[in-house]
Structure 1
Amino acid sequence: MSSSTLAPAVASRSVPVREIGIIMNGVSGRMGYRQHLVRSILAIRDQGGIELADGTRVTVVPLLVGRSEAKLAELAARHGIADYTTDLDAALADPRWEIYADFLVTKARSAALRKAIAAGKTIYTEKPTAESVDDALDLARLAADAGIRTGVVHDKLYLPGLQKLKRLIDSGFFGRILSVRGEFGYWVFEGDWQRAQRPSWNYRAEDGGGIIVDMFPHWNYVLENLFGRVTSVYAQAAVHIGERWDENGSPYAATAEDAAYGIFELEGGVLAQINSSWTVRVNRDELVEFHVDGTHGSAVVGLFGAKIQHRTATPKPVWNPDLEDDHDYDADWQNVPVNDVFQNGFRQQWEEFLASYVSNTPYAFDLLAGARGVQLAEAGLRSSREGRRIELPTLALDRQRGER
């Protein structure tokens, strides 16, 4: 995931150019607009595309799709985009547009992806890819049977902090990794005396909300790509705040969990514990932090920062509750230097996906990977509901539904 894999295109050189039309469905939403449209596709467009190893220059042309023509027209005018439409079917039928990119709410995603598969489009989508693991796995099978290339957003892997963590793991710094402890979250205002900073549907189960559906797919790909496949989960979900206020200032019942506390067993013996909460006041350096302990060393990483403590520099605490401990434990950690230039993670993954698509090379973060994220979310909800540990069998495209 090195940020130097792809270089900006150099317009003055005579190189073959491949222009790719991308249907972008859901760009009026927060994530679709900021991260995928502005910071990824338009950034790639404005730098003149990306240059592949063989010298090919890949340029992108977006087609904005949504329900409100007025919103789409305003976005198109603001960013110099020529094409927009409210007719998804017509866009999918037009061969100019090769890739279908989906940033819709979860409840609307599966139906749209099925249309794109039927139209033979390459797919790039946010997660979760569906509301159930059966549906997510069916989407992966349909795409595979149709020979369609797919990509699912794995943005957390591209965070500077996690890229530093990956470098530490690959170097053998930790020795044998024992455990991972993650803390994610912040206080989302209820919406009465101060406006909420997340949409109200996030807190209604009937609208596809809940922090498990939102975050467990992230934790799945972080854990499996850095530490090992998740083999079981025990989770406890909670609705800590039962009443919230929506965008119009009207009260509503919060039916989806706003916090989840999970324990994950990983292939190879690593244990992970991750707390996810929209009802926690932050007392850590960043909104997400992972503490990794190994036999030879430990690390604490966040969105950007990373600090380490080697076993040769580990203090020797002695538990004595009768004496105040004045040791500065924070001072025992060393910051990992920034030895690379990290770009926006969403953009970096877009560039890698485009390069894989044009070069026809394997791409690991596909709809089957997305289905594994949905599997973990579904298992987490079931675990909380039944009060027990749930095992996660390996998902495969050639297995029947009843065998998973």
Structure 2
Amino acid sequence: MTIHNLGIIMNGVTGRMGTNQHLIRSILAIRKQGGVKLDNGDVLMPDPILVGRQEQKLRTLAAEHGLEKWSTDLDACLADRDYSIYFDAQTTLLRAESIKKAIAAGKHIYCEKPTAASLEESLELARLAKRAGVKNGVVQDKLFLPGLLKLKRLVDSGFFGRILSVRMEFGYWVFEGDWGVPAQRPSWNYRKEDGGGIIVDMFAHWRYVLDNLFGEVKSVACLGATHIPARVDESGRPYAATADDAAYAIFELEGGIVVQANSSWTTRVNRDDLLTVHVDGTEGSAVAGLRGCKSQHRINTPKPVWNPDIPNPHDFLGQWEEVPDNRPFDNAFKVQWEMFLKHVAVDAPFPWDLLEGAKGTQLAELGLQAWAERRTLDVPKLEA
């Protein structure tokens, strides 16, 4: 057995998502398990260096997890041949410039989404990476959630028959920061000038979820809203919320599938999970959350009759059957990290490249445009 070290420049991992999902639950978890095993018995071992702008945060994070390598000098790290992969989890407005530098340095690219603040820049990154011949990938974590993997199993088995419609509900109440209750999300999420907004944030997710589970998105209609116009930031200072905190969209997919997608940071949850995906087909229906999935086949579908004059005789929620796990499920971010490391090392398949990431930016831009113009827009095909 040979251990192959893969040096990874991890930029922006002092943030909540970067620390928890990418560093602790992915890269450090892979190291703890002994690396990623290849078919020939060899092992890929990630070797991270933490990069960012704030020295104290980097020093503290590295010390907490027994890491010695960290730096505030991105250019020096990109010049180091021991690091072949560049990962970016910075805020959206900072991401593209750093990725361009990494591509120019010949690094393989793995990054969070949105990949850039505009479709033009997202496509530029995809084209630069293609011309440079570097491997590249974008985080598409929700595809690897247990609930959506179970839902994909139902789709692939033909359980639904012809899929008619999908209803997606995402969100929760993000506290305004007053009343002595800190907000669960950073304040830049609510400032348009800093790259914030739920359409920019979540439509990148909805694009890859819909494309990969049900069919390519063909059109979009969207109404956004800024329901909470003022919030309090991390320092206790009030600020104006200039970005949308809720979006109500209708997507049409290939095959005529209609998708209703509500995304909100201003809703209180009365459903099984923070994200639920309800699919209706001619032969059956299913509702998936982050980890669970319930189904109801045509032969088990009850026959309710509308009668508001009597108490409801049906236990509708109890009439659904849980889709079993049937196998263990690992952390969604970690699973995709392992796939990307194999892609870099042995050219294993990895279809979620920077062009796929640009599709998410495209849908967000079209959603914002559809809202502004109050009309439905077609979604053109993209090419790198």
Question: Is 1:130 aligned to 2:116, yes or no?
Answer: yes
Match of 1:79 among 45, 65, 73: 65
Paired position in structure 2 for 1:367:
354
Match of 1:116 among 102, 108, 115: 102
Q: What per-residue deviation string (whole Å, max 9, x for no partner) do you get for residues 161-207 of structure 1?
A: 00000111111111111110000000001111121111111100011
Paired position in structure 1 for 2:268:
281
Per the TM alignment, residue 55 of structure 1 is displaced from its structure 2 partner at its CA by: 1.6
Aligned 8 A contact 2:250 2:259 in 1? yes
User: Counterparts of 1:394 and 1:230 in 2: how far apart (Å)?
Assistant: 10
2:125 is paired with a residue whose SS is helix
Q: What per-residue deviation string (whole Å, max 9, x for no partner) do you get for residues 292-317 of structure 1?
A: 00110000010011110000000111
Paired position in structure 2 for 1:167:
153
TM-score by length of 2: 0.98
Number of positions where the alignment pairs a residue of Structure 1 with one of Structure 2: 383
Paired position in structure 2 for 1:332:
319
RMSD between superposed Cα atoms in Å: 0.8
Per the TM alignment, residue 322 of structure 1 is displaced from its structure 2 partner at its CA by: 2.7
Code of the aligned partner of 2:43: R
Pairs within 5 Å for 1:95-244: 95-193=81-179, 194-244=181-231
Paired position in structure 2 for 1:91:
77
User: Counterparts of 1:195 and 1:60 in 2: how far apart (Å)?
Assistant: 35
User: Counterparts of 1:237 and 1:70 in 2: how far apart (Å)?
Assistant: 38
Per the TM alignment, residue 361 of structure 1 is displaced from its structure 2 partner at its CA by: 3.1
Code of the aligned partner of 2:20: R
User: Counterparts of 1:363 and 1:48 in 2: how far apart (Å)?
Assistant: 22
Match of 2:242 among 233, 255, 261: 255
Aligned 8 A contact 2:339 2:348 in 1? no
Per the TM alignment, residue 321 of structure 1 is displaced from its structure 2 partner at its CA by: 2.5
Match of 1:306 among 293, 306, 320: 293
Please, which runs of 5 or more residues in structure 2 have no aligned partner? none
Q: What per-residue deviation string (whole Å, max 9, x for no partner) do you get for residues 303-359 of structure 1?
A: 011110000000111112333322111121111111110011000000011112111
Aligned 8 A contact 2:203 2:363 in 1? yes
Q: What per-residue deviation string (whole Å, max 9, x for no partner) do you get for residues 102-140 of structure 1?
A: 000000001001000110100000000011111101110
Paired position in structure 2 for 1:321:
308
Where does structure 1 differ by over 4 angstroms across 4 or more consecutive aligned residues?
Answer: none
Please, which runs of 5 or more residues in structure 1 have no aligned partner? 1-14, 398-404
Q: What per-residue deviation string (whole Å, max 9, x for no partner) do you get for residues 359-385 of structure 1?
A: 113420000000000000000011111
Paired position in structure 1 for 2:256:
269
Match of 2:56 among 42, 46, 70: 70
Question: Is 1:19 aligned to 2:22, yes or no?
Answer: no
Aligned 8 A contact 2:211 2:217 in 1? yes
Question: Is 1:342 aligned to 2:332, yes or no?
Answer: no
User: Counterparts of 2:37 and 2:120 in 1: how far apart (Å)?
Assistant: 38
